[in-house]
Amino acid sequence: MKPWEKPRRLPLHVAIIMDGNGRWAKKRGLGRALGHRKGVETLRAVVRESSELGIGVLSLYAFSTENWSRSAEEVGALMGLLLEFFAKEIDALHANRVRVRILGDVEGLPGPQRDAALAAMARTAENAGLQLNIALNYGGRDELVRAMRRLMRAGLAPEQVNEKALADALDTAGQPDVDLMIRPGGEMRLSNFLLFQSAYAEFLFPGTLWPDFDVDAYHHALDAYAARERRLGGRKEHGGE
Ligand code: FPP
């Protein structure tokens, strides 16, 4: 039995800030785009492992609202990788019953990326396996603003606005809160990812750069999570739904 095959408490919702692609490439004298390409390989491995382990929700921060300010070359490379990812992976994701949801302002994506993202969501909408959230053109504050606008458009009175109503208007509507937030790459910041949903999350900041973050590193993180005692501010451990 491999160490990670022993029974342990799994998080319902894992969120990952995929950081360090640029540094990984620089260390090797490569362009940043190659770091991102290697990062997609890690992403595929972590998605597959999450699906096999029976993790409920996996949220990946792929492109933030702030990432548009990177060089045109880098933004172009990331947008290209995104299209390639959907074209190459959607059949396998669908076959493995993965359900894709895009978090973020999809309408603000370039046409081809928006269409591919919407098609991936539509095609996998009925799947009952891993819920894979891909954050694209996503910012936590932007998500809260969009959620508030939804509530106001729906005509809610101030006293009808509560935590449940707000949670139900977020991009993650219907999903459990984040239990485990992992940011590889050594930085210890949330960078505007899932602000509302991470209120009681456990945080891990492994130093490994994302392209080097392999299945073993993922299992180390899951073990570290299982070893932590969660009190959730006095609330009972929540089951999500
Ligand atoms: C941060 O590393 C990473 C990103 C801004 C992009 C992450 C995207 C991918 C792994 C691939 C694209 C996604 C899909 C779904 C195909 P960084 O560039 O900030 O690294 P650095 O801190 O070392 O510079």
How confident is the model over 142-175, as pLDDT tens digits? 999 999 999 999 999 999 999 999 999 999 999 9
Amino acid, res. 106: V
pLDDT on residue 173: 98
- pLDDT tens digits for range 63-96: 999 999 999 999 999 999 999 999 999 999 999 9
Residue 2 has pLDDT above 90, yes or no: no
CA-CA-CA-CA dihedral for 92, 94, 96, 101, to nearest 10 = 110
pLDDT of 4 above 70: no
pLDDT over 60 at 241, yes or no: no
Distance CA 95, CA 90 (A): 8
**Cα–Cα nearest to 142, from 79, 75, 194:** 194
pLDDT tens-place string over residues 181-231:
999 999 999 999 999 999 999 999 999 999 999 999 999 999 999 999 776
Q: Is 12 in the pocket of ligand 1 (CB under 6 A)?
A: no
Q: Of all helices (H) and strands (E), which one includes residue 147?
A: helix 140-153
Kindly give the number of the ligand 1 atom that is closest to the alpha carbon of 60.
15
Half-sphere exposure of residue 29: CA atoms within 13 angstroms, side-chain side = 0
Q: Indicate which residues carry an active-site annotation.
A: 19, 67
115-145 residue pLDDT tens: 999 999 999 999 999 999 999 999 999 999 9
Looking at residue 167, its pLDDT comes to 98
User: Between vectors from CA 40 to CA 35 and to CA 46, what angle results, nearest 5°?
Assistant: 125
Average pLDDT estimate for 18-27? 98
Query: Which positions ≥6 away from 142 have C-beta within 8 Å?
Result: 65, 104, 105
The residue to mutate among 16, 17, 19, having the most atoms of ligand 1 within 8 angstroms of its beta carbon, is 19
Candidate from 17, 18, 192 with most ligand 1 atoms within 8 A of CB, to mutate: 18
pLDDT computed for residue 229 by the predictor = 74
62 CA from centroid of ligand 1 (Å): 6
- Quote the pLDDT of residue 38: 98
If you average pLDDT over residues 30-38, what whole number do you get?
A: 97
**What does the radius of gyration of the chain's CA atoms come to, in whole angstroms?**
18
How much is the pTM? 0.93
Nearest protein Cα to ligand 1, atom 3:
19
6 pLDDT above the threshold of 80: no
> pLDDT above 90 covers what percent of the chain?
90
Q: Which atom of ligand 1 is nearest to the CA of 43?
A: 10
Atom 8 of ligand 1: nearest residue by CA position:
62
Cross-strand partners of 60: 16, 134
Mean pLDDT for all residues in the chain? 94
Question: Residue 5: pLDDT above 70?
Answer: no
pLDDT at site 233 = 72
